[in-house]
A and B are shown apart, each in its own frame.
Chain A
Amino acid sequence: MADASLFAIFMDGVFLKNFLVVQFLGLCSFVGVTKDVKSATGMSGAVVFVIAMSAIASYVLYTFILVPLKLEYLNTIAFIIVIAALVQLVEFILHRHVPALYRSLGIYLPLISTNCAVLGAVLINVLNEYDFLQSVTFGIAAGVGYTVAMLIMASIRERSNVLYVPKAVGRGVTYAFFIALIMSMSFANYFKVIPL
């Protein structure tokens, strides 16, 4: 671990280790929910909330229950239970308070529970032996990075709906993968040369 200051961890999570376009985690929502900015924003909000909450919950669970009992190897399954429960909680809240968003997210909302970005974030926390603040920071950073990538993707796709796209590039999902490719290259290269 080169630099463990909170700022470095945050920038790391948002740009250098961006979950969508650098680590390729949680791609199904990246292609599925980025047809318009509005639902991409809602999805990102839900994911930020879920990642941050699971970072907290998994840290508490790991440090105070699994480590003392020497059950570290249970981390994956325990985290999955926690994440699934949190997603269910978000679903309840959205259904009650933002029913329009609940409907527009549709199947992708329950899919957050199997979104590997969330599990990836909490597992990286454990792997890097982050303390509580670092874990939460990294969790939020992962969520923010997800949001950034989702919003860029959604904006591009929304605007390019009215553009001429060469037939060889294709439409719909094919085109989305093209955008993802270019975004991925720019993220991976552009942010590597800035010494954060």
Chain B
Amino acid sequence: MSELTTVLINTVSVLVGLCIAVGAMLVFASKVFKVETNPLVDEVASLLPGANCGGCGFAGCASCAEAIVLKGAPINSCPVGGYDVAKQIGAVMGQEISESEKAFPFVRCQGGQAHCTTLYDYHGVESCKAALMLCDSTKGCTYGCIGLGTCVKACQFDALSMGEDGFPVVNKNLCTSCGNCIAACPNGILTFARNSEKVHVLCRSHDKGKDVKAVCEVGCIGCKKCEKACPVEAIKVTDFLAEIDQEKCTACGTCVEICPQKSIELR
């Protein structure tokens, strides 16, 4: 037998032998140190989507299943699985589920390139956070959408894309309401909104009206016209920004018509 063959045989046999020995030891150890887990946890975990996106607020799908079974977390904890998964988990856990209305992220800013002044051309890392660290914002308005797509990158489900005016666009068919984009946005532009909530203020600026007008054509200036016009007192202007109480709002559209800045939207 040539020397090379011997070396080859030795190498292979040593490595294979080592792996078999180690494997045998681990199999033995797994028997000795077996941990009794609740079979329900495994069953629930197998029903969850397994995306480990963290949208439920737990570390991953396994800990979500554990929380549902052992700590009494609601069976519709998983926002990605939605109604179907909650129903299956309910069948396992012996609980009934009523369908809750899904909420989608939506953009609370409309001062894109067309409406808001740009301070400087940003050529850097394509991330809103990076741009924010460099300076307060690339836009004149420090509250507005920077438009570098950090939320788009944060979405694991391809539900967000960059629109024409530099705003993220939500594809509701793909969106799972996991909330990753909302957490990723450094300016807090995105919030959850239910489909039944029709009227929204498309601005987040707490600046005074004069300062808003200087940088943005469509920002809320806190003029309180909507607050006075609303027949059901659903609008309140605090810190120069109108906010809508969705419980009271009847979607009559009065505020949308009266707003001089067109920063309230009825959809």
Contacts and interface: CB of A to CB of B under 8 A. Distances in A.
Contact of A82 (B22, B30, B32): B22
Given A82-B22, A85-B25, A92 B14 contact: no
Q: Which 9 A-B pairs have the closest CB atoms?
A: A92-B33, A85-B22, A96-B33, A69-B10, A92-B29, A95-B35, A89-B29, A96-B35, A88-B26
A106 interface: yes
Contacts of B174: none
Interface residues of A, number: 21
Interface residues of B, number: 17
Nearest to A61: B18
A74 interface: yes
Contacts of A84: 22
Q: What is the interface of chain B mostly: helix, strand, loop, or mixed?
A: helix
A66 interface: yes
A65 B59 CA distance: 43
Interface in A55-99: 61, 65-66, 69-71, 74, 77-78, 81-82, 84-85, 88-89, 92-93, 95-96, 99
B14 A71 contact: yes
Given A69-B14, A78-B18, 7 more contacts: A65-B14, A71-B7, A71-B11, A74-B15, A81-B22, A85-B26, A106-B59
Contacts of A65: 14
Given A74-B14, A89-B26, A81 B33 contact: no
Interface in A106-120: 106
